[in-house]
Structure 1
Amino acid sequence: MLNRRRLIAAGATTVGGAMLLPFTGLTGAGANDVKAPAVKARRFGARGTAKALTPSVSPFSVRMPVPQVLQPAQSTSSADVYKVVIKPAVAEILPGVQTPVLTYGGQFVGPTIRARTGRPVKIVYGNRLDAPANVHLHGGHVPATSDGHPMDLIQPGEARLYDYPNTQQGATLWYHDHSHGTEAEHVFRGLHGFYLIEDEAERSLRLPSGAYDVPIMLRDVEFEQNGELLFFDDPANRTTILANGAIQPYFPVAARKYRFRLLNASNEHVFQLNLGGREMVKIASDGGLLPAPVPLTELVLASAERAEIVIDFARYPVGSQLVLSNGSTPVLRFDVTRTATDDSRLPGTLRPLPTLPAATVTRDVAMSFDLTGANPIGMVNNQPFDPNRVDFQIKRGSTEIWRVSNADTIGVDHTFHMHLVQFRVLDRNGAAPLPQDAGLKDTVHLPANGSVRVQATFTDYVGRYVYHCHYLEHSSIGMMAQMEIIP
């Protein structure tokens, strides 16, 4: 049986080329920067004396924060330009305790970037950590040079420009570290944030917007006795759930419709979200709007998946309290505190899914571990990640079907993530897809012995991109492969 603690044992420090820009004048840099947790120097076993802390927090005593929307440093006729520093900071996750974290721009949940379809965004990220880092726009259709390839690193003290054309339809994306070998710890310690794309067709639907369109990042954590985040332990022990960086917060709402953009930013966790039997309406998946709203009472969200829901609080009198739970564990409470006018809509038709072109290639992708050595090695099709090896060569414009399977025999879950494009889930275990598979996806859950068939069209860019397990402890030790899109 696999010792899950060993899965997070390995790390690597890798060096790749980067487009370097002047580091001066970047938002968030300053003399008050705190010292970063020593990520690069540690390996599993180095903190054998660490003991986990069971947090004692009064439920629903703090308000859920909403990540700050970042404003462009410059807007030109052709693009919005942002500057962000990757830097250490401290966050008060536990009341009265300063926890060292890694951040984009000094915030434990990084600043939200709101982009528009057809309006390019350029972001200069400067690295003030003492270890290499990078940024992957998860779900973004972007050139290979701006994808955050695991070997394209920003070295300490340097910077890199990322170009995001935003040619895709409106969707809830997120950005996070993808530096190979350290991505799991970097993301666990806070290198994550929302990137929201909006489009005119979506705006015409008059869905809840502005203050009534709220991103919520859900993730799990574990603490040491001193309040630091405890990374080197079994991920199953990460039993404290955060909503936008807060433990069991409350969120005051008006008696009207809200749009909530939910993201599972956990390294490896599956949420089963519910409102105690009350209805929520799912309107979007990873890649954007569904064809029509789907009422449900439970929402399954695996690591890196996103879902958008609408909750109509006008159904409940002022003074009502609705608790969002993960199974039976309370995560967040919505407090209906006031009345409000509501000119938003929840139309019966949202956005038709694109027609599936005929596939010309079928491929097999199997994720598993090699347990023959002293430490486990993550593998895709029986090979660990090698940045010098191209596993699949794909012609741009072609449509393919991938049969993706969890080939482990030891009872562990995986999630599968494909860079560059979204896909459609055709079937699961040879039967109809599950409700959480609907719509345009870039990440899909694969429980033990599970398999899916997905179909994707590679219409955007040429270059090398990765596909991998998005249980980040798995990808960090090799459960990743590389495709090259060619003309």
Structure 2
Amino acid sequence: MLNRRRMLALGATVGGAMALPLVRAAAVGAQQGEPPHRGYHVGRRTAATAVRADVTPFSVRMPVPPVLRPASSGPAGDVYRIPVRAATAEILPGVRTQVLGYGGGFGGPTIRARAGRPVRMVYENTLDAPVNVHLHGGHVPAASDGHPMDLIQPGGSRAYDYPNTQRGATLWYHDHSHGTEAEHVYRGLHGFYLIEGEDEAALRLPAGPYDVPIMLRDSAFDANGELIFFGDPAERSTFLANGKVQPYFPVAARKYRFRLLNAGNERVFRLNLGGVEMIRIGSDGGLLPAPVPVTELVLASAERADIVVDFGRHPVGTRLVLSDGTTPVLRFDVVAQARDTSRVPDRLRPMPSFPAAAVERDVAMSFDLSGSFPVGLVNGRPYDPDRVDFQVKRGTTEIWRVINADTIGIDHTFHMHLAQFEVLDRDGAPPLPQDAGLKDTVHVPPGGSVRVRATFTDHLGRYVYHCHYLEHSSIGMMGQMEVIA
């Protein structure tokens, strides 16, 4: 079938192409007497054989990412410091796997920021390869966006300033170093960044220990328990919830808010609780206008959804399994009674109004498969950091028609930096349920199109837009816009 063949081509072949700059970095480090790559295999050119993880289902508790405390706080805001490190993590029970981590863990600590209060993030790169950090969904100045060519060199550090002048939302931060972002994110350079608005506290949604971020992703492991990157992405069939394989999570008989993130490089999750109702309350850009009851939740790569599950409807001893289709991912165990004063009100947060669009554009994502290596294209051209594809006037609203010009079974997700957008339609038909609310990432199936509307407000400078199947953006499926006065 074409699907498997193209996945192998766009996984192993793309991975080999992406390894080249890091292989050169390894050689330089070796000449200087430094340990090559400090324990992770960025130079591997051939794929190992993926094996089924030998894990007893629901035998390990799902951890909750720790909330990082500011290194300092003052009237000007909060300052956080995070080293970027190579480390090992116990993803499979009893096995240490080589990973990359913000702070040294597989998945970084959670940042809980307040809307309107600035944050400065200072990252120190202890690796021997360049990295950077993008706040996915953040409305930030261009110098702090984590542009793919703005790198933190080995031994260096960089400060990113986030004004948090946007509505409360579930965002995330991850590596965006061009050509290496796919491997870096796959090996663990990802974490939650939660902006909390005052309006949410007034709604009395589940909060504190009952507000739980859950990062979902796929992985593949070799016989030694190491992550396989340069292989067929279709074989990444081991699903992780907060870095664990098929964990359980004990809950009280009350309402919980779960902030779900699909951090997989190339994956669409179709999540269900075995027919049990989930109340969707938020999307990429924060709360929806009103809660939406669902029994299935579709999340493509980089998309987020906030849901509320009322375990108070189930007796103690109940076990509910969150599955991707029929594949179990995570089990919730109702273990105790609890007092619950939270609620899900009928109205959450109205959508912002968008002015009339001044410009309409087409953005077509596709592959050139004619050469020895695939090349990602946007509007027929691969990414060039010296080229500006669109000039956008500050303060204007635009409508973009995003097209998946590949028709042979290749999916894409489209991500726009700087601005959140509204999905207007799909192929001229009404949006899908997963398109509701403010978005920054949207799934575009083969041959399909999605129209989105965004307003570009106060920040000037260059920002990228790209496919968020990270192997695709890594080899050119990315464009660049410049916001001008």
Letter in 1 for 2:439: K
Q: 2:33: which partner in 1?
A: none
Hey, what's the Cα distance between the residues in 1 that align with 2:20 and 2:222? 25
Q: 2:32: which partner in 1?
A: none
For structure 1, the 5+ residue unaligned runs are 16-33
Q: 2:338: which partner in 1?
A: 340
Q: How far 1:372 moved relative to its partner?
A: 1.3
* CA offset digits 1:158-203 (Å, max 9, x no partner): 0000000000000000000000000000000000000000011111
Q: 2:221: which partner in 1?
A: 223
Q: Is residue 41 of structure 2 the alignment partner of residue 38 of structure 1? A: yes
Change (3 A) 1:80 1:123: same
* CA offset digits 1:410-468 (Å, max 9, x no partner): 21100000000100000001100000000000000011111100000000300000000
> Counterpart of 2:471 in 1: which secondary structure?
helix
Q: 2:6: which partner in 1?
A: 3
Q: How far 1:325 moved relative to its partner?
A: 0.4
Q: 1:26: which partner in 2?
A: none
> Counterpart of 2:39 in 1: which secondary structure?
coil
Which of 253, 258, 261 matches 2:256?
258
Which of 301, 314, 317 matches 1:316?
314
Hey, what's the Cα distance between the residues in 2 that align with 1:147 and 1:36? 29
1:135-154 paired onto structure 2 within 5 Å: 135-154=133-152
Hey, what's the Cα distance between the residues in 2 that align with 1:382 and 1:36? 38
Change (3 A) 1:463 1:307: same
Q: 2:25: which partner in 1?
A: none
Q: 1:47: which partner in 2?
A: 46
Q: 1:92: which partner in 2?
A: 90
Q: Percent identity?
A: 72
Q: 2:115: which partner in 1?
A: 117
Q: How far 1:4 moved relative to its partner?
A: 2.3
Which of 465, 475, 478 matches 1:477?
475
Q: How far 1:241 moved relative to its partner?
A: 0.3
> Counterpart of 1:3 in 2: which secondary structure?
helix
Letter in 2 for 1:242: L
Q: How far 1:133 moved relative to its partner?
A: 0.3
Hey, what's the Cα distance between the residues in 1 that align with 2:248 and 2:431? 34
* CA offset digits 1:295-339 (Å, max 9, x no partner): 000000000000000000000001111100000001000000001
> Counterpart of 1:70 in 2: which secondary structure?
coil
Contact 1:267 1:473 in 2 (8 A): yes
Letter in 2 for 1:375: F
For structure 2, the 5+ residue unaligned runs are 23-36
> Counterpart of 1:232 in 2: which secondary structure?
coil
Change (3 A) 1:380 1:12: farther
Letter in 2 for 1:11: M
Q: 1:327: which partner in 2?
A: 325
TM-score by length of 2: 0.94
Hey, what's the Cα distance between the residues in 2 that align with 1:477 and 1:203? 43
* CA offset digits 1:256-278 (Å, max 9, x no partner): 00000000000010000000001
Hey, what's the Cα distance between the residues in 2 that align with 1:351 and 1:432? 21
* CA offset digits 1:187-228 (Å, max 9, x no partner): 000000000000111111010000000000000000011111
Q: How far 1:94 moved relative to its partner?
A: 0.9
1:60-459 paired onto structure 2 within 5 Å: 60-459=58-457
Q: 2:463: which partner in 1?
A: 465
* CA offset digits 1:239-292 (Å, max 9, x no partner): 000000000000000000000000000001000000000100000000000000
Q: How far 1:130 moved relative to its partner?
A: 1.1
> Counterpart of 2:399 in 1: which secondary structure?
strand
Contact 1:36 1:87 in 2 (8 A): no
Q: How far 1:12 moved relative to its partner?
A: 6.7
Hey, what's the Cα distance between the residues in 2 that align with 1:264 and 1:427? 23
Contact 1:13 1:182 in 2 (8 A): no
Contact 1:302 1:445 in 2 (8 A): yes
Q: How far 1:52 moved relative to its partner?
A: 1.5
> Counterpart of 2:109 in 1: which secondary structure?
strand
Hey, what's the Cα distance between the residues in 1 that align with 2:354 and 2:395? 13
Root-mean-square deviation over aligned CA pairs: 1.2
* CA offset digits 1:81-128 (Å, max 9, x no partner): 000000001011111110000000011021000000010000110001
Q: 2:29: which partner in 1?
A: none
TM-score by length of 1: 0.94
> Counterpart of 1:35 in 2: which secondary structure?
helix
Q: Is residue 62 of structure 2 the alignment partner of residue 59 of structure 1? A: no
Contact 1:13 1:180 in 2 (8 A): no
Hey, what's the Cα distance between the residues in 2 that align with 1:406 and 1:115? 35
Hey, what's the Cα distance between the residues in 1 that align with 2:21 and 2:168? 34
Letter in 2 for 1:263: L
Q: How far 1:3 moved relative to its partner?
A: 3.0
Hey, what's the Cα distance between the residues in 1 that align with 2:349 and 2:73? 30
Hey, what's the Cα distance between the residues in 2 that align with 1:305 and 1:440? 11
Higher helix fraction (1 or 2): 2
Number of residue-to-residue matches in the alignment: 464
